[in-house]
């Protein structure tokens, strides 16, 4: 018997997965059961389903070799009947299953199938040509097997001389029809046929998996009779059975009846007591010569009884070994205890004698020194009396011991060094791999995954030893690559700002905290002085302008869209109006409904003044009057909104308030709206200023704690962040979105940079 398999794995196991098992009997008793095989194709099955199906096939295989045949049923029929009762849940209309399970017992074959697998028999007729027989036709009549059973019928028969049996998954017929399979299989050896099918199918490179086997019987069967016997279970189709009988009668007696092997088996059971084990094994070898099988999926069946015996023998050996080990360990412990006692007592005795020598207790120093001297002389005398060969061997052993100990120490140190070098190299490669993965994730815009890879790379880098010059250089390069990838993932633009004015040099006594723009001029002001510093970007001139307002300094400022004045907020909730035409200032009216109001930010919109009261968590709206602004009216309608940590106010029709912790509040018509800044890393945990306006596309947030200027869209989605080494003391900003330009105040210096990332 020649048995050869072919197997091709598809590109998508979930869409198409093939299970292929061929089991070889291991003992003489099992050889009577022959070779077990199973071919299953599972389409659209999850991994749990595939695993369960593999477990069922393993159960059928094990039970087939362990359960004996019954009088009217083979062991395979008994097992499949049990499987049908226990595994009906595997019949799932959403999962397509095609399966063949069977056994080859010399010239006998018995099998059962589910679905529509391919199973063909090519048999030779008198003129030497081959005809084909589809062994699955009995499963395709008008009456189908029960839908809730996996294997509802079993077929048993004999394979004749020079016949070929082909079994495979169903998709084979889409690429090889039956006539072409007959031509391929009957005109070349089975090995070449299997290799040809596997090569052609593997070149398709689609998601479909293929599997199958080709069986060829060289020696002629002893019985010239041919009959295929089908043993239906409940629910089988009589019509299908009749069709199969008719088909078998027209196959030129291709298959032989399976009745005689059973009678022969019973005779063997009667007389087997007169046979020795050796005779039985020799008879098995004569009756069942080894088959020639080429299969990567071939495995030998391990009998459970044999495994049980082997387990008992191994357990006995383990117990005996444990007994010997206990005896050896007991002896070793006794010798070790004696050695430790000798060492400890010797050390204690020598320490005691050394103390006596040092202290000269009761004048015993002299005696102890004489004892040591005499001991040393005795040792030297004994050494002199030793034969030369003994001295040589003793010295050699001492030298070899020292060399051996030194070698062990050197090897151990070398192993540690090699392990450290390998760990260092692996860590460097892992860091580089994670940086590459992060850059790859950034191409489709998967920022979250990229940041995760960068964080892992940084954690590994923190554990790297960076001591030697080479290690320091490597660590510096990796750190630079990580920082570059991190900036790219975080959408951080490191700008090179242009220095416009150094107000610390121009007016050292006037420290500038914030800036505001009016008519393209940038005004710097401070809470500590009422003097203003003004920079003109056109003429590039700086000037110092006293405001003329008797105030300790200005807290906040606002400019209307018309750019005709600047409203300054100063101590005591007072408002001053600055005229840029003549640089004059005057106090104007502005009232508040609560005498405890604490205003820390203002904005002018549609000629109305809006003020932020952090004490009452309220925003007031002030209408314009001749003397300034009217009494403020409460604008926020929500109750329970906490603005006590609010630091700045901006508007584009909606109101935006930023708190000290970076949280942004949004209000529409006085009603609080859900709003959160998302997609930014690191997240906002602080905020100094916020700015937007009607014709602005973005909201701009100044975060001095992280030395950055952040821009988000009106829905809170992060857009970009800008930083520079000069931004270590950010305190103010002014945005000109039409010119794509930002002005920032850092350390009493005015800078300008582009907002293009």
pLDDT digits (tens, 9 = 90+) for 456-482: 999 999 998 888 898 899 999 999 999
Residue 672 structure tokens: 């609080």
- Asked whether residue 267 carries a pLDDT value surpassing 80, the answer given is no
Confidence at residue 664, expressed as pLDDT on a 0 to 100 scale: 97
Q: Which helix (H) or strand (E) holds 238?
A: helix 238-249
Q: What is the mean pLDDT of the chain?
A: 84
Judge contact between 550 and 562, C-beta under 8 A.
no
Of the listed ranges 267-276, 347-356, 486-495, 592-601, the least confidently predicted one is 267-276
- Asked whether residue 145 carries a pLDDT value surpassing 70, the answer given is no
Confidence at residue 249, expressed as pLDDT on a 0 to 100 scale: 35
Instruction: Give 82's pLDDT tier (boundaries 50, 70, 90).
Output: confident
Name the residue among 232, 221, 288, 231 with its Cα closest to residue 255: 221
- The mean pLDDT of 86-110, rounded to a whole number, is 84
Determine the Cα–Cα distance for residues 666 and 88; give it in Å rounded to an integer: 60
Instruction: Give 510's pLDDT tier (boundaries 50, 70, 90).
Output: confident
Confidence at residue 621, expressed as pLDDT on a 0 to 100 scale: 97
Structure-model confidence comparison of residues 550 and 699, the more confident one: 699
Judge contact between 77 and 258, C-beta under 8 A.
no
Confidence at residue 328, expressed as pLDDT on a 0 to 100 scale: 86
Share of the chain above pLDDT 70, in %: 87
Residues 6+ apart with CB under 8 A from 365: 356, 357
Instruction: Give 219's pLDDT tier (boundaries 50, 70, 90).
Output: low
Whether the model clears a pTM of 0.95, i.e. scores above it, the answer is: no
Confidence at residue 552, expressed as pLDDT on a 0 to 100 scale: 82
- Asked whether residue 273 carries a pLDDT value surpassing 50, the answer given is no
Confidence at residue 302, expressed as pLDDT on a 0 to 100 scale: 60
Confidence at residue 290, expressed as pLDDT on a 0 to 100 scale: 66
CB atoms near residue 407 (< 10 Å): 11
Determine the Cα–Cα distance for residues 711 and 707; give it in Å rounded to an integer: 14
Confidence at residue 288, expressed as pLDDT on a 0 to 100 scale: 52
Structure-model confidence comparison of residues 140 and 366, the more confident one: 366
- Asked whether residue 697 carries a pLDDT value surpassing 90, the answer given is yes
User: What's the pLDDT tens digit per position in 39-65?
Assistant: 999 998 888 888 888 988 888 888 888
User: What's the pLDDT tens digit per position in 425-461?
Assistant: 999 999 999 999 988 888 887 888 888 899 999 999 9
Judge contact between 572 and 555, C-beta under 8 A.
no
Q: Is the preceding omega at residue 422 within 30 degrees of 0, hence cis?
A: no
Residues 6+ apart with CB under 8 A from 688: 647, 648, 658, 702, 703, 704, 730, 731
- The mean pLDDT of 552-557, rounded to a whole number, is 92
- Asked whether residue 137 carries a pLDDT value surpassing 50, the answer given is yes
- Asked whether residue 558 carries a pLDDT value surpassing 50, the answer given is yes
Domains and CATH numbers, the chain: 2-118+129-300 (3.60.40.10), 305-385 (no CATH), 401-486 (1.20.58), 498-754 (2.130.10.10)
Instruction: Give 85's pLDDT tier (boundaries 50, 70, 90).
Output: confident
Determine the Cα–Cα distance for residues 718 and 724; give it in Å rounded to an integer: 19
Q: Which helix (H) or strand (E) holds 459?
A: helix 447-463
Q: What angle do CA 278, 284, 289 make, to 5 degrees?
A: 130
Instruction: Give 490's pLDDT tier (boundaries 50, 70, 90).
Output: confident
- Asked whether residue 139 carries a pLDDT value surpassing 80, the answer given is no
Name the residue among 604, 545, 554 with its Cα closest to residue 574: 554
Share of the chain above pLDDT 90, in %: 40
Confidence at residue 238, expressed as pLDDT on a 0 to 100 scale: 34
Confidence at residue 388, expressed as pLDDT on a 0 to 100 scale: 84
Of the listed ranges 218-227, 532-541, 610-619, the least confidently predicted one is 218-227
- Asked whether residue 304 carries a pLDDT value surpassing 60, the answer given is no
Instruction: Give 277's pLDDT tier (boundaries 50, 70, 90).
Output: very low
Of the listed ranges 143-157, 341-355, 657-671, the least confidently predicted one is 143-157
User: What's the pLDDT tens digit per position in 370-399?
Assistant: 888 888 888 788 878 878 888 788 888 889
Name the residue among 194, 193, 98, 104 with its Cα closest to residue 151: 98
Judge contact between 75 and 68, C-beta under 8 A.
yes
CB atoms near residue 339 (< 10 Å): 10
- The mean pLDDT of 702-721, rounded to a whole number, is 94
Catalogue the E-assigned strands of 401-447: none
Confidence at residue 248, expressed as pLDDT on a 0 to 100 scale: 39
Confidence at residue 757, expressed as pLDDT on a 0 to 100 scale: 65
- Asked whether residue 272 carries a pLDDT value surpassing 50, the answer given is no
């Amino acid at each position: 018997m020649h048995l050869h398999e072919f197997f091709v794995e598809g590109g998508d196991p979930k869409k198409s997965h093939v299970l292929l098992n061929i089991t070889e009997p291991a003992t003489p008793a099992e050889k009577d059961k022959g070779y077990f095989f199973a071919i299953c194709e599972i389409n659209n099955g999850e991994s749990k389903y595939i695993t369960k199906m593999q477990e069922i096939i393993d159960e059928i295989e094990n039970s087939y070799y362990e359960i004996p045949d019954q009088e009217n049923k083979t062991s395979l029929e008994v097992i499949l009947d049990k499987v049908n009762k226990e595994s009906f849940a595997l019949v799932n209309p959403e999962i397509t299953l095609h399966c063949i399970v069977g056994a080859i017992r010399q010239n006998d074959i018995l099998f059962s199938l589910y679905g529509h697998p391919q199973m063909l028999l090519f048999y030779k007729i008198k003129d030497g040509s081959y005809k084909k027989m589809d062994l699955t036709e009995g499963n395709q009549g008008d009456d189908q097997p029960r839908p809730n059973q996996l294997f509802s019928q079993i077929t048993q028969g004999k394979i004749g001389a020079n016949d070929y049996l082909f079994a495979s998954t169903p998709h084979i017929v889409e690429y090889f029809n039956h006539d072409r399979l007959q031509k391929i299989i009957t005109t070349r050896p089975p090995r070449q046929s299997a290799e040809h099918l596997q090569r052609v199918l593997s070149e398709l490179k689609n998601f479909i998996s293929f599997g199958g086997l080709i069986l060829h019987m060289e020696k002629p069967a002893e019985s010239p009779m041919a009959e295929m016997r089908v043993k239906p279970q409940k629910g089988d189709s009589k019509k299908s059975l009749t069709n199969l009988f008719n088909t078998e009668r027209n196959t030129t007696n291709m298959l032989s009846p399976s009745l005689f092997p059973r009678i022969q088996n019973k005779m063997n059971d009667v007389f087997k007591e007169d046979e020795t084990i050796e005779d039985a094994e020799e008879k098995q070898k004569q009756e069942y010569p080894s088959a020639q099988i080429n299969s990567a999926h071939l495995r030998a069946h391990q009998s459970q009884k044999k495994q049980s015996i082997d387990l008992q023998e191994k357990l006995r050996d383990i117990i005996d070994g444990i007994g010997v080990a206990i005896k050896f360990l007991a002896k070793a412990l006794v010798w070790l205890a004696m050695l430790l006692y000798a060492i400890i007592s010797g050390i204690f005795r020598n320490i005691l004698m050394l103390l006596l020598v040092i202290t000269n207790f009761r004048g015993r120093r002299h005696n102890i020194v004489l004892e040591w001297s005499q001991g040393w002389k005795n040792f030297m005398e004994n050494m002199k009396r030793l034969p030369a060969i003994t001295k040589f061997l003793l010295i050699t052993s001492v030298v070899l011991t020292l060399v051996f100990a030194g070698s062990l120490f050197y090897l151990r140190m070398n192993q540690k060094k090699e392990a450290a070098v390998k760990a260092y190299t692996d860590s460097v490669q892992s860091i580089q791999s994670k940086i590459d993965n992060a850059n790859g994730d950034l191409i489709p815009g998967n920022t979250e995954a990229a940041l995760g890879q960068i964080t892992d790379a940084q954690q590994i880098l923190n554990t790297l030893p960076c001591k030697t010059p080479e290690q320091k250089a490597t660590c510096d390069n990796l750190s630079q690559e990580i920082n570059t990838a991190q900036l790219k993932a975080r959408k951080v633009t490191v700008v090179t700002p242009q220095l416009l004015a150094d107000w610390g040099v121009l007016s050292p006594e006037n420290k500038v905290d914030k800036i505001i723009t009016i008519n393209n001029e940038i005004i710097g002001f401070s809470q500590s002085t009422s003097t203003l510093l003004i920079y003109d970007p056109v003429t590039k001139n700086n000037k110092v302008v006293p405001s003329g307002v008797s105030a300790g300094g200005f807290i906040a400022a606002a400019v209307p869209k018309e750019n005709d004045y600047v409203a300054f907020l100063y101590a005591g909730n007072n408002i001053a109006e600055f005229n840029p035409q003549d640089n004059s200032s005057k106090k104007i009216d502005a009232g508040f409904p609560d005498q405890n109001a604490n205003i820390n930010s203002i904005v002018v919109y549609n000629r109305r003044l809006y003020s932020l009261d952090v004490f009452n968590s309220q925003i007031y709206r002030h209408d314009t009057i001749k003397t300034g602004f009217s009494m403020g009216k409460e604008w926020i309608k929500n109750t329970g909104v906490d603005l006590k940590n609010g630091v700045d106010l901006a508007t584009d029709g909606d109101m935006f308030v930023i708190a000290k912790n970076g949280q942004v509040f949004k209000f529409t018509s006085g009603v609080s709206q859900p709003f959160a800044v998302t997609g930014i890393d690191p997240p906002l945990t602080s905020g100094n200023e916020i700015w937007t306006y009607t014709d602005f596309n973005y909201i701009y947030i100044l975060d001095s704690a992280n030395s950055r200027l952040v821009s988000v869209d009106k829905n809170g989605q992060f857009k970009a962040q800008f930083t520079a080494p000069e931004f270590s003391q950010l305190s103010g900003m002014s945005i000109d979105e039409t010119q794509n330009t930002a002005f920032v105040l850092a350390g009493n210096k005015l800078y300008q940079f582009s907002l293009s990332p």
